[in-house]
Structure 1
Amino acid sequence: MTRAQSTTAPTRAANGWVSFVGSGPGDPGLLTLRAAELIRSAEVVVTEAPEHADLVRAVLGCGEDEGPILVDGGFGEDGQPLTHAARAKVVVKHGKKHRVVRLMTGDPFLYASGPEEAQACVKAGVGFEIVPGVSAVSAVPAYAGIPLTTKDRREVAVVTCGGHVDWSLYADDRTLVLLSAVGTIGETAAALVAAGRSPRTPVAMTRVGTTTEQATVTSTLADIAADARAARIAPPAITVIGDVVDLRETLSWFETKPLFGWRVLVPRTKDQAGSLSRRLREYGAVPEEVPTISVEPPRNPQQMDKAVRGLVEGRYEWIAFTSVNAVKAVREKFEEYGLDARAFSGLKIAAVGDKTAEAIAAWGLRPDLVPSGEQSAVGLLEDWPPYDEVLDPINRVFLPRADIATENLVAGLIDLGWECDDVTAYRTVRATPPPAPVRDAIKSGKFDAVVFTSSSTVRNLVGIAGKPHPSTVIAVIGPATAKTAEEHGLRVDVLASKPDVELLADALADFGAARRHSMIEAGEPVTKPSDRKPSARRKSRAK
């Protein structure tokens, strides 16, 4: 999109520009591509909601002290909420000098203050553009499984409650979407009944829609006030009135995800937990990464320096990467020496598994050998060719790995006739303990599940944070990890079918789905493991 000069503003600030960007109703996945592009290029972001700061950092992949300047557009320096006029002044002030993204909940021009702030830009001669966002009016009902229109219900009215509303205008059977209705739902329902709507008309109220805290209560006009109080529905919430609400019984898809709202502890760094956390989010979980190990350079770098020089000089026939960290360590050493991927010319590359192969591919290289069976050192050895004096000009293998790696791969390569330079490329040390609130959450059962991806993650998590509470679901990636967990007094509930992090997430989702089904079959409310009393124990286990 090119920046078009506003026809109503004959001039614009020389270096400033304001993009009014809709952030959607809450789910970061609903942010548009254009919105993400503008956030990445912004110098200043004026936020509207507390979660906007995290949204910006998520888009940029940066920490709290990085990225554009964040300006709180919700509250002033005195801690008081800003009026529309005061917020407009903040936007114009920064828009005169900087590329500003004015991040707005939902859509800037739909039940928002975007028009007033845009008019302030016009008056000040600041150029602007509008980037529509997904509106809560349509998104929240969709996430609740409620279509606003059907082949039999084609009309929709959106009403902002508060102040005087002539409810007699809405006495027919069209679908109503009510905004800001939580505090007045009793009076609103009574007025609609008095205007001619049936007391049995279906009603749904959904709070914090499109987020993993979403909760929906379904009722009727006659009972919604009492039911909303009982369910503790609080703003922000969207209310839908009409026969379309009945379709939620069959179309609810978001709140019925197998791990919906589960707080899942992932004992890995954000870099390592990427695919696992993504898969957990797809199942409705809220993953929380807690590093249990820290990767550091070897104490004596001379061995690594010598091996890299030998690689460049053609000393090796093969290089075998046994982890993503090994790829990272060699790549950093290459950068230190001013080398690039061309130094691998003529060298055969082996990767212990798919994830390591992906890290190699990100470097612009293609591994010659990846295990066809088990994704491990054992699987790699099963496919590794024996040394052949005729076909292999060099009989030496460079094996960069961790300081705590086992000797099985080295011994296996020697048995196949290869000489192996076993080099410590990095050290793994126990990470510092997580903050006190996280440690308390682990020990008191506030996490619904924890996923262990190796024996070391079990040992290190228990070492730095303590044992997870008995009510927490324990999911492990393989038999060895399960054995370590049991040795530490943990009851294993979920075991992945194969040692793969995404299959581990799938197995946990299967467990959650079976648990949910059993509760529904028993006529019990669906709860999360953390909702149970501390003394409660589960009888069902998934393998």
Structure 2
Amino acid sequence: MPTIGTVYLVGAGPGDPGLLTLRAAELLRRADVVVYDALVNPAILTLARPEAERVFGGRRAGEGPADRTAVMDLIATRAREGKTVVRLKGGDPYVFGRGGEEALYLAEAGIPFEVVPGVSSFVAVPAYAGVPVTHRGYSSRLVILTGHADPESPECPVDWAAEARLPGTKVVLMGTAQMGRIAEVLLRHGMAPDTPVMVTQWGTTARQRSVVATLATIGSELARAGLGAPGVAVIGEVVRLREKLNWYERRPLFGQRVVVTRAREQAAALSRPLAELGAEVWEVPVIKTAPPRRRRDVMDALLELNSYDWLVFTSPNGVSAFFDFFFQRFQDLRDLGGARIAAVGPGTAERLRQLHLQVDLVPEEALATKVAETMANYMSLENLRICLLRAEVANPDLPKALEEHGAIVDDIAVYRTVAETEGNDETARRLREEGADWITFTSGSTVEHFHQRFDLPKLLGRFPTLRLASIGPETSRALAGLGLAPTVEAREHTIPGLVAAIRDHVIAERLVASR
């Protein structure tokens, strides 16, 4: 009989993956099973291992109540199989999240469990909307209330009449639908009509929207704005600070949901700067690298390194893959020989410099004709031997252009790009159902494999405001093959260049809209 595994009741925070605790991230990376709720940002699920079982254990919009007994039975079964189970809940498990009920179930079933607190929406959402829930000059009392029940029902768990007479900040969770009626009860029992109120929907995410009004007008203002669940309301004088403290909604990419399609191990280099500018980033890796089918070609090239005049690398992946093979054969970087080195693109050049290699040539444009022209202008290529180190399936124009300048080219595949299909099903589902603002492409292969999985023209047809961002001309050419054009193409064909292109476009759009 296997040892019983542990169940971890983990708070996922209010939406922004950056608010996940270190302990939560550690447990997700260890988990065999992750059971998550609807309010969990799908980006957080990418922290779990690709082979981990992912189970939706909540209720989505338009569905009936979740069968909580079935969910808990599943969790207990997996734990009895000796598995590590993370029960991932939005916000904090013990703040209006039924975490206490689930902990009792596990205790009574004899299942070992731990509770990992999360950042609760009652403090995070107001903070992201520019409102501190306490402030020495405004409020030294804070109360957190549930607002899901009819405030005038005898079964209502909150004494709103008593709350009307008490000072301080009132934070109301799950009360957006009832906020108008709650305001009426508070007014009727003596709360000042000009008391400021803020209601924020989808706080800490790209969809964050806030309505600020007074107790007398909040019901009509919410109806006019069409705000719904999930929402957090703040009632009290601290709301007056929002105008000065509204930091999150002023970030350059606030409100933009950006999809990153790079390979999983490379995604962070693009995701991180986008998130720091305020974007909500969804990682949907559609490619991964694998060894080439003809490894013998690489081995032969390694034995002939001293005979080459140029080594040409066309991507950072090509650099990494080649030197993985190189150091299996050689122990000393000096065995690379005396060949000159060309890098197609600044990202490729940077990867080579990280190995302390001098890059002799970096063409300004990552186009085959431009690469060949730049090399030919640098020196005559007549009868020079060039080793082209790149992906197994690659554009044939580059070796052809080099040969037209008289070069003798060995086109060596050091890796191949294959489809990534593991570990992002929930994000992919949300993308198909909800769309995004941007999809970023960093290579022709990301375009190809994304299209194979999602049918890019069809996705654009369903979400007409969806925009495409390309890192450079070769990637844009792949989009053109689908009859599409990118909204932006990076001027500098690098990750920072791609981020800058998106940022500048969004800022320009907002300037036009504000005129």
- TM-score w.r.t. structure 1 length? 0.70
Q: Is the 8 A contact 1:200 1:222 kept in 2?
A: yes
Q: Is the 8 A contact 1:403 1:426 kept in 2?
A: no
Q: How far 1:276 sits from its partner (Å)? A: 3.5
The answer to whether the aligner puts 1:26 opposite 2:4 as a matched pair is: no
Aligned counterparts of 2:318 and 2:226: Cα–Cα separation in 1: 51
Structure 2 counterpart of 1:169, which letter?
E
The answer to whether the aligner puts 1:512 opposite 2:497 as a matched pair is: no
In the alignment, what sits opposite 1:143?
128
- Structure 1 unmatched runs, 5+: 1-12, 388-394, 432-437, 523-543
Q: How does 1:165-244 map to 2 (within 5 A)?
A: 165-167=158-160, 168-244=162-238
1:423 to 372, 397, 412: 412
In the alignment, what sits opposite 1:404?
396
Q: How far 1:136 sits from its partner (Å)? A: 0.9
Q: Is the 8 A contact 2:31 2:48 kept in 1?
A: no
The alignment's C-alpha RMSD in Å is 4.9
1:325-370 Cα shifts (integer Å, max 9, x gaps): 42355367669xxx266364432684624533565689xx443327
Structure 2 counterpart of 1:28, which letter?
P
Q: Is the 8 A contact 1:181 1:239 kept in 2?
A: yes
In the alignment, what sits opposite 1:158?
144
The answer to whether the aligner puts 1:356 opposite 2:348 as a matched pair is: yes
Structure 2 counterpart of 1:74, which letter?
G
Q: How far 1:23 sits from its partner (Å)? A: 1.0
Give 1 or 2: higher helix fraction: 2
In the alignment, what sits opposite 1:262?
256
Q: How far 1:110 sits from its partner (Å)? A: 2.9
In the alignment, what sits opposite 1:541?
none
- Same amino acid, percent of matched pairs: 37
Q: How does 1:25-424 map to 2 (within 5 A)?
A: 25-47=14-36, 49-50=37-38, 52=40, 54-55=42-43, 57-60=45-48, 62=50, 66-67=51-52, 69-74=53-58, 81-83=66-68, 90-96=74-80, 97-153=82-138, 154-161=140-147, 162=149, 163-167=156-160, 168-264=162-258, 275-285=269-279, 303-311=297-305, 315=307, 319-327=311-319, 329-330=321-322, 339=328, 342=331, 344-347=333-336, 350=341, 352=343, 353-357=345-349, 365-369=355-359, 374=364, 398-401=387-390, 402-407=394-399, 410=402, 421-424=410-413
Q: In structure 2, do the counterparts of structure 1 residues 179 and 263 end up closer, same or farther at CA, with 3 Å as the change threshold?
A: closer
Q: How far 1:238 sits from its partner (Å)? A: 0.7
Aligned counterparts of 2:473 and 2:378: Cα–Cα separation in 1: 28
SS of alignment partner, residue 28 of structure 2? helix
Q: How far 1:318 sits from its partner (Å)? A: 6.3
1:378-423 Cα shifts (integer Å, max 9, x gaps): 5996899989xxxxxxx965331345252599579989xxx86453
1:196-219 Cα shifts (integer Å, max 9, x gaps): 221111111112222222222111
Structure 1 counterpart of 2:95, which letter?
L
- Structure 2 unmatched runs, 5+: 150-155, 421-427
- TM-score w.r.t. structure 2 length? 0.73
Q: In structure 2, do the counterparts of structure 1 residues 303 and 374 end up closer, same or farther at CA, with 3 Å as the change threshold?
A: same
Q: Is the 8 A contact 2:4 2:111 kept in 1?
A: no
Structure 2 counterpart of 1:25, which letter?
P
Aligned counterparts of 1:358 and 1:382: Cα–Cα separation in 2: 19
Q: In structure 2, do the counterparts of structure 1 residues 511 and 35 end up closer, same or farther at CA, with 3 Å as the change threshold?
A: same
Aligned counterparts of 1:173 and 1:145: Cα–Cα separation in 2: 21
Q: In structure 2, do the counterparts of structure 1 residues 356 and 181 end up closer, same or farther at CA, with 3 Å as the change threshold?
A: same
Aligned length: 476
1:468-514 Cα shifts (integer Å, max 9, x gaps): 67866565556888899899987876454433232232232122123
Q: In structure 2, do the counterparts of structure 1 residues 299 and 177 end up closer, same or farther at CA, with 3 Å as the change threshold?
A: closer
Aligned counterparts of 2:3 and 2:439: Cα–Cα separation in 1: 53
Aligned counterparts of 2:39 and 2:360: Cα–Cα separation in 1: 42
